[in-house]
């Protein structure tokens, strides 16, 4: 569990991160959806590492920025709880665990280090 994020659940904050790569996942309709991986997510105020990585959907806002491996980004996002894991509805098995994520990224921009 991401304990640093848990402490700040519900807040919208500014973060710094390093772009790693573009990937993909299947959405709930089964279609491929592009994603991006960011690492070393830091709170912009305290410069404290909040989490080691985060995946976001590769939205138009991210696509409008020239992302190459190693570039530094600044963005705002909301800290939210979610459940990760597997649910088998046939046998009513719910093995999901509570974790925390960053959602709704906005005000995304490149920063010089």
| Total number of domains in the chain | 1
pTM: 0.85
Structural domain includes residue 94: yes
Domain presence at residue 113:
no
Q: Is residue 24 in a domain?
A: yes
Supply the range of the domain harboring residue 88: 3-107
Q: What is the CATH number of the domain that holds 76?
A: 2.40.50
Give the DSSP letter string of the chain: --HHHHTTTT-EEEEEEEEEEEEEEE-TTS-EEEEEEEEEEEETTT--EEEEEEEEE--HHHHTS---TT-EEEEEEEEEEEEES-EETTTTEE--EEEEEEEEEEEEEEE--
pLDDT in tens, the chain (113 residues): 688 899 999 999 999 999 999 999 988 888 999 999 999 999 999 999 999 999 999 999 999 998 999 999 999 999 999 998 878 878 887 888 899 999 999 999 999 87
């Amino acid at each position: 569990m991401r304990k640093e994020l848990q402490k700040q659940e519900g807040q919208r904050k500014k973060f710094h991160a390093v772009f790693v790569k573009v990937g993909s996942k299947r959405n709930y309709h089964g279609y491929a959806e592009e994603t991006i991986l960011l690492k070393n997510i830091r709170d912009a105020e305290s410069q404290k590492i909040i989490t080691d990585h985060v995946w976001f959907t590769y939205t138009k806002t991210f696509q409008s920025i020239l992302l190459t491996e190693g570039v530094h980004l600044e963005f705002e996002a909301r800290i939210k709880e979610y459940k990760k894991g597997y649910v088998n509805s046939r046998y009513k098995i719910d093995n999901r665990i509570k974790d925390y994520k960053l959602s709704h990224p906005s005000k995304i921009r490149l920063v010089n280090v």
